[in-house]
C-alpha cells in the first residue's frame, strides 16, 4: 500500500478542504500538536486527500490548456531516471485516445524560479507531462491547485518512496532537497513516515567522494543505502587512505564486477595489507577432464572455493571436508 493510500485510508471520512472552516483549522491546531514542522503533516494529509478526490472525479474535458514551456517539474521530485519504454507506451496511448486525466499543478508566477518562462510546477502527473513532450505537443490539460513548498516536498517523496524502481540515491537527493522545508530532521522523518536512523543513512550518500556522486548521478542504482552508510562510516574513520582505496575499487563496482556490500570489506582488506596487499580478484578454474568442475576465487575480502556437487564422489567430498576441518582445527 502506497503512503498516499495509507493516508487516504487513515482519513477516509475527511471532508473536502473547501468544506473545512478556518475556525475548525484553528481549533485543531490548538488542541493537536502537529507531527511535523510547520504543520506540514496535517497539511499534506489534506492536500493528498484533495488530490485523490480530484483525480477520481476529473475527466479529459476538465482543466485548462497550459503551454508546456510554462510548466516545470516538482523541484523535489526524487526520480532522476524515467523508464523510457513506459514513457513511450504512455505517449502512444495519449496519441491514440488523448489525455484521460489532466495533470495537477500549482502556480509559481509570484515565486522565484530558475527560468522566467516557468509559471507552474507539477504536483502530480510528471510522466504525462513528459509523454506530451515526447509527442512534440505544445500544451497540456492541467488543473491548478494551491500547495506550499513543504507540501510539495513531502508529496513528491510520499508518492515515490515505496516504489521498487526508485533507487536509494534518488530518495537521498529528494530528502536532501526537502530538508530545508522542515524545522528539524525529526519533523522531516515524521512527514515521510521514516525514523531518524533511516534519514541519517540516506544522508550518508553526501559524505561520499565527488567521483562516486558523479557516477551515481548517471546511474543512481549503483549503490544502496546500507552500502553507502558503511562506506561513509569507513571513510570517516580511516580518512584519505580509505578514500584512495575506494578510488581503486570503485571502477569494479561501476563495471558490475564487485558486490556493493563488499566494498567496505575490500577497502578494509586493502588498508590491512597495505599498498602491496592483493585487492584485485584472482580466479582459478578447476577442471575434471574437459569440464569445469569449480573455481577458486580470491579478492580483497574473501577466499572462496566452489565445486559442483556432481564433480564430487562421496569419497572425495569426505576427503575434502576432512582436509578443511583439519586446517582450521
Q: What nine digits make up the cell of 147?
A: 500547495
Amino acid 56: pLDDT: 59
Consecutive 10-residue runs of the chain (329 residues): their mean pLDDT?
Answer: 42 41 42 38 54 56 82 81 84 89 81 57 88 93 84 72 73 84 78 81 93 90 92 90 90 87 88 57 72 72 76 84 84
Q: What digits encode the pLDDT tens for the residues 148-202?
A: 887 787 777 766 665 556 788 988 988 888 888 778 878 777 777 778 888 889 9
Backbone phi and psi for residue 209, each to the nearest 5 degrees, phi listed first: -60, 160
Contact 220, 252 (CB under 8 A): no
What is the pTM (predicted TM-score) of this model? 0.55
Residue 198 CB-half CA count within 13 A: 12
Identify any residues that bridge with 131 across adjacent strands, giving them in sequence order: none
Residue carrying the nine cell digits 493510500: 5
User: How far is Cα 62 from Cα 42, in angstroms, rounded to an integer?
Assistant: 28
Q: What nine digits make up the cell of 271?
A: 588498508
- DSSP structural state of residue 281: -
What residues contact 271, with CB distance under 8 A and at least 6 apart? 238, 241, 242, 245
Amino acid 233: pLDDT: 93
Amino acid 109: pLDDT: 61
User: How far is Cα 217 from Cα 212, in angstroms, rounded to an integer?
Assistant: 9
- Could you tell me the sign of the dihedral formed by the alpha carbons of 16, 19, 23, 24, in that order? negative
Q: Is 126 helix (H, G, I), strand (E, B) or coil?
A: helix
Q: What nine digits make up the cell of 221?
A: 542504482
- H helix intervals, 193-313: 196-203, 210-218, 225-238, 240-254, 263-273
- CB neighbours of residue 319 within 10 Å: 12
Amino acid 15: pLDDT: 41
Q: Is 130 helix (H, G, I), strand (E, B) or coil?
A: helix
| Axis-axis angle for helices 126-134, 84-97 (nearest 10) | 80
What are the boundaries of each domain within the chain? 3-196, 208-273, 282-327
Amino acid 31: pLDDT: 37
Residue carrying the nine cell digits 503551454: 67
CATH of domain 3-196: 3.90.1530.10
Amino acid 2: pLDDT: 45
- Calculate the CA 14 to chain-centre distance: 30
Amino acid 128: pLDDT: 92
User: How far is Cα 131 from Cα 88, in angstroms, rounded to an integer?
Assistant: 7
Amino acid at each position: 500500500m502506497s503512503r498516499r493510500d495509507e493516508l487516504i485510508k487513515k482519513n477516509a471520512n475527511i471532508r473536502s478542504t473547501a468544506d473545512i472552516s478556518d475556525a475548525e483549522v484553528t481549533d485543531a491546531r490548538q488542541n493537536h500538536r502537529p507531527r511535523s514542522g510547520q504543520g506540514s503533516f496535517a497539511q499534506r494529509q489534506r492536500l493528498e486527500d484533495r488530490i485523490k478526490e480530484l483525480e477520481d472525479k476529473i475527466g479529459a474535458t476538465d482543466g485548462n490548456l497550459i503551454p508546456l514551456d510554462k510548466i516545470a517539474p516538482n523541484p523535489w521530485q526524487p526520480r532522476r531516471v524515467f523508464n523510457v519504454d513506459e514513457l513511450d507506451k504512455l505517449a502512444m496511448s495519449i496519441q491514440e485516445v488523448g489525455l484521460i486525466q489532466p495533470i495537477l499543478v500549482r502556480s509559481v508566477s509570484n515565486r522565484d524560479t530558475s527560468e522566467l518562462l516557468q509559471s507552474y510546477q507539477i504536483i502530480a502527473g510528471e510522466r504525462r507531462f513528459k509523454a506530451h513532450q515526447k509527442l512534440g505537443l505544445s500544451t497540456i490539460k492541467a488543473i491548478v491547485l494551491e500547495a506550499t513548498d513543504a507540501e510539495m516536498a513531502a508529496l513528491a517523496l510520499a508518492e515515490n518512496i515505496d516504489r521498487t524502481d526508485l533507487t536509494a540515491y534518488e530518495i537521498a537527493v529528494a530528502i536532501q532537497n526537502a530538508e530545508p522545508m522542515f524545522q528539524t530532521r525529526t519533523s522531516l522523518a515524521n512527514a515521510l513516515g521514516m525514523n531518524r536512523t533511516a534519514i541519517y543513512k540516506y544522508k550518508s550518500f553526501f559524505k561520499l567522494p565527488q567521483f562516486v556522486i558523479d557516477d551515481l548521478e548517471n546511474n543512481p542504482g549503483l549503490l544502496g543505502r546500507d552500502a553507502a552508510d558503511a562506506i561513509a562510516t569507513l571513510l570517516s574513520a580511516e580518512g584519505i587512505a580509505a578514500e584512495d582505496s575506494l578510488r581503486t575499487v570503485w571502477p569494479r563496482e561501476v563495471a558490475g564486477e564487485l558486490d556493493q556490500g563488499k566494498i567496505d570489506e575490500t577497502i578494509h582488506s586493502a588498508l590491512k595489507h597495505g599498498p602491496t596487499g592483493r585487492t584485485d580478484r584472482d580466479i582459478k578454474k578447476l577442471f575434471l577432464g574437459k569440464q569445469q568442475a569449480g573455481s577458486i576465487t580470491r579478492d580483497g575480502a574473501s577466499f572462496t572455493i566452489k565445486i559442483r556437487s556432481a564433480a564430487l564422489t562421496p569419497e572425495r567430498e569426505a576427503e575434502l571436508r576432512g582436509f578443511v576441518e583439519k586446517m582450521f582445527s
